[in-house]
Amino acid sequence: MTRPPVETRIRTSYREAIRAAIFEAMLEDERVFLMGEDVGRYGGCYAVSKGLLAEFGPERIRDTPLSESAFVGAGIGAAIVGMRPIVEIMTVNFSLLALDQIVNNAATLLHMSGGQISVPLVIRMATGAGRQVAAQHSHSLEGWYAHIPGLKVLAPATLEDARGMLGTALRDPNPVLIFEHVLLYNMEGEIAADAGAVEIGKAAIRRPGRDVTLIAYGGTLHKTLLAAEILAKEGIDAEVVDLRTLRPLDTATLLESIGRTHHAVVVDEGWRSGSLSAEVAARLAEEGFWSLDAPIGRVCSVEVPIPYPRHLEEAALPQPARIVAAAQAVMRR
Amino acid sequence: MTRPPVETRIRTSYREAIRAAIFEAMLEDERVFLMGEDVGRYGGCYAVSKGLLAEFGPERIRDTPLSESAFVGAGIGAAIVGMRPIVEIMTVNFSLLALDQIVNNAATLLHMSGGQISVPLVIRMATGAGRQVAAQHSHSLEGWYAHIPGLKVLAPATLEDARGMLGTALRDPNPVLIFEHVLLYNMEGEIAADAGAVEIGKAAIRRPGRDVTLIAYGGTLHKTLLAAEILAKEGIDAEVVDLRTLRPLDTATLLESIGRTHHAVVVDEGWRSGSLSAEVAARLAEEGFWSLDAPIGRVCSVEVPIPYPRHLEEAALPQPARIVAAAQAVMRR
Amino acid sequence: MTGSADLKPHLARSHVMDLMRQMLRIRRFEEKCIELYATERIRGFLHVYIGEEAVAVGALPTLTPDDAVVATYREHGQALIRGVPMNAIMAEMYGKQEGCSGGRGGSMHIFDVAHRFYGGNAIVGGGLPLAVGMALADKMCNRRRVTACFFGDGAVAEGEFHESLNLAAVWKLPILFVCENNLYAMGTALELTESETDLHLKAQSYRISSVAVDGMDVVAVEAAARRATAAIRAGEGPQFLECRTYRFRAHSAFDPELYRSKTEVEEWKKRGPIERFGAWAEANAILHPTDFAALEQEVAAEIEAAVAFAESGNWEPVETLTRGVYAEVAP
Amino acid sequence: MTGSADLKPHLARSHVMDLMRQMLRIRRFEEKCIELYATERIRGFLHVYIGEEAVAVGALPTLTPDDAVVATYREHGQALIRGVPMNAIMAEMYGKQEGCSGGRGGSMHIFDVAHRFYGGNAIVGGGLPLAVGMALADKMCNRRRVTACFFGDGAVAEGEFHESLNLAAVWKLPILFVCENNLYAMGTALELTESETDLHLKAQSYRISSVAVDGMDVVAVEAAARRATAAIRAGEGPQFLECRTYRFRAHSAFDPELYRSKTEVEEWKKRGPIERFGAWAEANAILHPTDFAALEQEVAAEIEAAVAFAESGNWEPVETLTRGVYAEVAP
Ligand SMILES: Cc1ncc(C[n+]2csc(CCOP(=O)(O)OP(=O)(O)O)c2C)c(N)n1
Ligand SMILES: Cc1ncc(C[n+]2csc(CCOP(=O)(O)OP(=O)(O)O)c2C)c(N)n1
Ligand SMILES: [Mg+2]
Ligand SMILES: [Mg+2]
């Protein structure tokens, strides 16, 4: 990989990268607008859209009432007649109120209309736990959305993806959901000053390794990378794959990796039963069975509504130590 | 198994069995009431509750407005202060509108309150496709509900379970969801005249076999049994397991079965990616890996919103021929 | 005719003829559908519009081709009046490739973007947010268009009704809400499900100007719709029209109609929109018996042709099953 | 004091003292919470009730121990006034086992069934259907109870508000809706999100009798709440109380308050419920400076004890993490 020279790199955060992507999209295409609760005057509940109201005005940075179903549906309606809305649902927790619109309208209009109507809509939302906000505010339901034909589902875990996925999503003629993990907004680092749209649909190997494939996405990627470092010290060379796109899943990259490592652990912040990790494991069991030298491991959230106290929340969520243990377990025999 | 003598058996249908279960529960416990759209004067959209209004009156057979979120939430509220509501959501398709109440209240109140509040609520709904009612009316989303800690999820596939699961569910102190496949309501057969509550939480072997384990539930069970008959003629002796309870999953029975057959095919009317079949396959890949002689097969709905025309709908859904082919495929090498 | 006084001047013979023709097109089309359902040419759920024809026929012609329509699963009438060819609608009912939705949708999902007909939504209340978004786009783009959104009395109880009306009002969107109040949602009477059964008053609680009209009177509906669309075009924001009507047939083919009396139905039938308008036109010597016969013949021919078209249509090959899940090119 | 005229007789010194004490308990408790949040004893989201004390203090004492309360994530005040021990609330804020929700819920999920305090709901609008169901159960069992449901102005835009009010009205349920209209939902002003900002009028569109009161005036709130609960007990069905109030602090600890001016906040602070009521009581020689000092001391002691209790509480062992997902025995 040839990198641009150092002087063209800038320091940014996940939050700023998304803001820059929105900013750019708004400048480039006047059909783009941002709509959601508190995106304007408040500046976005995670401060992603801070400053955009001043730049683009209240028509295009549109504060909505607390009416998740109606404003998501309105985004769909605006998309089918030519706009390119970015709808922000504060968090995945509240998206349950808009699920009917997403599943029964956004995902089906193209099909039900015999191909006449496409829905070029982007829905962004924060997901995940880790901030001690308890049972109703800590869901990781992106796996649910990944079940629905007609939707595309993205989970940017890096600054490049935070900067680049939105633009690609806006150019996609289909409804695209972007899940931003709440713990990533403050993540900082350097990216190319001219970073822009990135490919979607492909998983990325974030750390090459020979012994075991650790599969993660979004917020758990970084915990998994940490786990890989710990494993390296213990002589296990883990490959870390970032799914990036949750629907469609890039099975090919996963199969290729386990074709080399013969061992797999899937990490997912969703509750274990029926999480996205199940689909990943099922695909490996179907299509990669003969590559595997050991059972697949999964590290997921414990099946309990997320508790408030820090120590219990930490125990409920996937942590590097549990990932290390799972990798060791699948390597053991 | 000792069966009661023939003369104590009666002919019934799946629909009538559920009605009998409701009837019995209403007689036995005055805290029980049925609430939902058109359950009263209309007689239930699948005629399940026909006649109950005349018997029990409009207070206990309570027609609601089209307000899925509020009447499901009201069921939760009534349950936590002593009632035993049976809430009917016409179909799983409309349950999306009530999902917030189910996920964020029914499933979490016990936990969030530190164990003070339990929610002894039963929610019944029709699920599944096969009646040519197209994309918005053909969902099979029970797998989603099976992802949520705090809920129990049942899928009666037989007359005995249709008759017996409701009573057991009502005695459970937790929120229990019962999914009734639309194509089963007309299914007829004989059951014991005194059939009553059945155990929940255990899978059932509906057809013993030695060569391959076919795992199904609800509407696909019967297609799977048909497939097993066809396979038998071709010399493959399939064991058919009916999951019955989708949460918690009875993994032990599944592992036991593949411990004998060494081959597994999971059948599920949900769209393949992220359906319940994925969780079943993942568990087998984790815990049954060393029992398996071949990759796990899955027969699910094709990943397309369900189309209206019969031939396309049939092609989209799991059918005996596809189950047979999948079983043959996992047996082949 | 109620409310027709101030409109008499416009009731030229050609207009009366046209209203009659359109109502008959719906009535006979729906009757044919019931027949075709019995012989299993049409499957799935079938919801017919018999008795409610005056609503679509009165309201829709006040729109221009640029305007848009969002409807429910009981939408054949709206589609026909909006100009979607009967052939394409009938082929859709059969599930044939030549159907307006390529056969994928069936009775509940009639789409025709060329006629700006945006479905066919089978989730009660599900079309309202969509219509709000379409109107929002028009407003943001300074397009002088109206989006007309049809829904039943049952939809009023859904949260989406409330959220959508509020959004439309807060943002002053160019949208016409048309509530087809036929007094029942399936088998549940409005009075059992709404604390305020005078539905148009609900719109006023969002500061949306609203009116209730006799939905059995095509001229009254037309007059009210004309005023409402004119107000929208004049920039006065959303308007709400409650049309009080009645469904003469069962909710769908599965409905045993236990919840209402035959007498009630018969009483309403006496006020049938076609029956009354026809009688009035004849009594006033605007239309003559020969006109009715000619119209019936014309409509019968159109329906016969539509059935033939649908019959000779093609089934989509199973090979293309997964088509239409994702779009390839940006619209 | 507005609306206090007809209630003057009841304003005995002991009652005035009590109202003052309760408002102070909330104010000082919340101030302590902010402090404890800064030192990270309390984590997660913290929403305080400072400025709105008169609503809980005025409304809740009109309930009996048999009645029930459903609240939002901004519910410390309601919990305190309802009688949930401050110790248990504070321990809950810390996440300690001795908390009223066993530490599992935290600030947003205060539960205490012994005091019929049913949360603590962090989904805006999510408590309304629950309260409707509780009232339904009471009605079906002929229990003469009231369920009081608190929610903010923001909740009014949610579909669940609409569905719940309609259900309560159709079924004539014994429920008191208390809308805490503090003019903002996070950073979005009511006037930008509701076409009808006179929120109590919305209730009337469901035929629910409603009234708007000065939510900064504890006596006015109490009078209105007393009338409302009396009407409910008299079988008149649901009642709606809009309390016009103001939040003096940020929405939560993360809120930079870009959306409103300091002047606006200062203007409202002049109408502070404690400040005005205190000044009035003093001007009318009902309370004396020594009373205030005594109350402050009493409250400070209670808070100090609560902090000590929470500090010395225990962390639940990690081993019991999966407790409380499923109940074992029927309630
Ligand atoms: C959200 C939702 N709930 C329930 C249904 C089932 N259902 C289909 S039509 C209908 C009645 C709707 O009545 P109304 O809105 O008055 O329209 P009408 O059929 O009278 O034209 C019901 C309950 C549905 N399609 N969507
Ligand atoms: C359904 C839902 N949407 C969004 C949020 C995020 N949120 C939390 S509080 C809040 C504002 C609520 O305002 P209001 O109802 O007026 O209550 P207040 O905070 O003013 O007391 C929002 C948007 C939420 N918790 N639930
Ligand atoms: Mg109706
Ligand atoms: Mg507020």
Residue B238 and residue B177 share a domain: no
Q: Residue C291's CB: how many other CB atoms inside 10 A?
A: 18
Tell whether C264 is covered by a domain.
yes
Of the residues C70, C124, C161, C178, which should be mutated to test ligand 1's pocket, given the most ligand atoms within 8 Å of the CB? C124
CA A185 to mean position of chain CA atoms: 12
Three-state secondary structure call for residue D88:
helix
Residue for token pair 């069970």: B221
Q: What pLDDT band is residue D185 in, cutting at 50, 70 and 90?
A: very high
Torsion angle (degrees, nearest 10) of CA A86, A92, A93, A96: 70
**Neighbouring chains to A with at least 3 Cβ pairs closer than 8 Å:** B, C, D
Residue B263 and residue B127 share a domain: no
Q: A37, A68, A239, A313: which one is catalytic?
A: A68
Residue B117 and residue B56 share a domain: yes
Chain D residues within 8 A of A92 when measuring between CB atoms: none
Tell whether B5 is covered by a domain.
no
Tell whether C249 is covered by a domain.
yes
Tell me whether 0.95 is exceeded by the ipTM: yes
Note the pTM of the prediction, 2 decimals: 0.97
- Helix B52-60 vs helix B14-28: angle between axes, to the nearest 10 degrees? 50
Q: What pLDDT band is residue D254 in, cutting at 50, 70 and 90?
A: confident
What pLDDT does C2 receive?
43
Tell whether C2 is covered by a domain.
no
Mean pLDDT of chain B: 97
What pLDDT does B285 receive?
95
Count of CA atoms in the C-beta half-sphere (13 A) of A157: 24
Pairwise CA distance, residues D20 & B36, whole Å = 46
User: Is C108 close to B131, i.e. CB distance below 8 A?
Assistant: no
Q: Which amino acid is at B145?
A: Y
Residue A208 and residue A175 share a domain: no
List the domain range (segments joined by +) for residue D119: 8-320
* Buried residues in B49-62 as b, exposed as e (16+ CB within 10 A): bbebbeebeeebbb
For chain A, the three-class secondary structure string (H helix, E strand, C coil) is CCCCCHHHEEEEEHHHHHHHHHHHHHHHCCCEEEEECCCCCCCCCCCCCCCHHHHHHHHHEEECCCCHHHHHHHHHHHHHCCCEEEEEEEEHHHHHHHHHHHHHHHCCHHHHCCCCCCCCCEEEEEECCCCCCCHHHCCCCHHHHCCCCCCEEECCCCHHHHHHHHHHHHHCCCCEEEEEEHHHCCCEEEEECCCCCCCCCCCEEEECCCCEEEEECCHHHHHHHHHHHHHHHCCCCEEEEECCEEECCCHHHHHHHHHHHCCEEEEEEEECCCCHHHHHHHHHHHHCHHHCCCCCEEEEECCCCCCCCHHHHHHHCCCHHHHHHHHHHHHCC
> B308: distance to nearest CA of chain A, Å?
9
Q: How many domains does chain C have?
A: 1
Three-state secondary structure call for residue C177:
strand
Q: Among positive and negative, which fits the CA dihedral D22, D26, D27, D32?
A: positive
Residue D102 belongs to what H/E stretch? none
Q: What is the CATH number of the domain that holds A58?
A: 3.40.50.970
C-alpha to C-alpha distances, C78 to A89, A152, C29, C33, D269, nearest whole angstrom: 34, 33, 12, 15, 56
Residue B182 and residue B50 share a domain: yes
D3-25 pLDDT, tens digit per residue, is 444 444 468 999 999 999 999 99
The answer to whether residue B333 scores a pLDDT higher than 80 is: no
Q: How many domains does chain B have?
A: 2
From A157, A192, A227, give the residue that closes a domain.
Answer: A192
D105-138 pLDDT, tens digit per residue, is 999 999 999 999 999 999 999 999 999 999 999 9
DSSP state of D258: T
Residues of chain A with pLDDT under 70: 1-7, 333
Which ligand is the nearest neighbour of the Cα of C75?
1
Q: Which of C73, A25, D89 is nearest to B136 (CA)?
A: C73
The answer to whether residue D322 scores a pLDDT higher than 90 is: yes
Count of CA atoms in the C-beta half-sphere (13 A) of A200: 28
Q: What is the CATH number of the domain that holds A276?
A: 3.40.50.920
DSSP state of D64: -
Report strand pairing: A238-242 vs C209-214. Answer: unpaired
Pairwise CA distance, residues B117 & B173, whole Å = 10
Pairwise CA distance, residues A90 & A232, whole Å = 38
Residue B247 and residue B141 share a domain: no
Please count the residues of chain C. Answer: 331
Q: What is the CATH number of the domain that holds D68?
A: 3.40.50.970
Residue B183 and residue B232 share a domain: no
Q: Which of A27, A34, A86, A31 is nearest to A60 (CA)?
A: A34
Residue B210 and residue B160 share a domain: no
Tell whether A197 is covered by a domain.
no
Which ligand is the nearest neighbour of the Cα of C125?
1
Q: Which of B108, B30, B33, B42 is nearest to B71 (CA)?
A: B33
List the domain range (segments joined by +) for residue A52: 10-192
Tell whether C98 is covered by a domain.
yes
Tell whether B199 is covered by a domain.
no
Establish whether residue D38 lines the binding site of ligand 2, counting it when its CB lies within 6 angstroms of any ligand atom: no
A296-325 pLDDT, tens digit per residue, is 999 999 999 999 999 999 999 999 999 999
Tell whether B90 is covered by a domain.
yes
Q: Residue D6's CB: how many other CB atoms inside 10 A?
A: 8
Q: What pLDDT band is residue D253 in, cutting at 50, 70 and 90?
A: confident
Q: Residue A250's CB: how many other CB atoms inside 10 A?
A: 18
Please count the residues of chain D. Answer: 331
Q: Yes or no: say if B142 and B179 are a contact pair by the CB < 8 Å rule.
A: yes
What pLDDT does B174 receive?
98
Please count the residues of chain A. Answer: 333
Q: For chain B, give the percent of residues with pLDDT over 70.
A: 98
- Residues belonging to chain D with any Cβ–Cβ distance to chain A shorter than 8 Å: 43-45, 95-96, 103-106, 108-109, 121-126, 154-155, 157-159, 185-189, 192-194, 254-256, 258-259, 315-316, 318, 321-322, 324-325
What pLDDT does D331 receive?
66
What pLDDT does C4 receive?
44
Tell whether C328 is covered by a domain.
no
Pick the residue from chain B with its C-alpha nearest to A297.
B286
Tell whether A2 is covered by a domain.
no
Angle at D53 between CA D49 and CA D59, to 5 degrees: 120
D74-108 pLDDT, tens digit per residue, is 999 999 999 999 999 999 999 999 999 999 999 99
Residue A312 and residue A255 share a domain: yes
What amino acid positions of B are annotated as catalytic residues? 68, 137
D166: nearest CB among B67, B115, B118: B67
Report strand pairing: B212-216 vs B245-247. Answer: unpaired
Residue B159 and residue B182 share a domain: yes
CA C114 to mean position of chain CA atoms: 18
Q: pLDDT tens string for chain C (331 positions)?
A: 444 444 444 689 999 999 999 999 999 999 999 999 999 999 999 999 999 999 999 999 999 999 999 999 999 999 999 999 999 999 999 999 999 999 999 999 999 999 999 999 999 999 999 999 999 999 999 999 999 999 999 999 999 999 999 999 999 999 999 999 999 999 999 999 999 999 999 999 999 999 999 999 999 999 999 999 999 999 999 999 999 999 999 999 889 899 999 999 999 999 999 999 999 999 999 999 999 999 999 999 999 999 999 999 999 999 999 999 999 986 6
Tell whether C329 is covered by a domain.
no
Residue D15 CB partners (closer than 8 Å, separation 6+): none
Token pair recorded at residue B104: 């964020």
What pLDDT does D81 receive?
98
Has A180 been annotated as catalytic?
no
Q: Which amino acid is at D37?
A: Y
Chain A residues within 8 A of B112 when measuring between CB atoms: 134-136, 305
From B192, B216, B236, give the residue that closes a domain.
Answer: B192
Beta-carbon contacts below 8 Å between B and D: 152
Residue B174 and residue B102 share a domain: yes
Residue A326 and residue A228 share a domain: yes
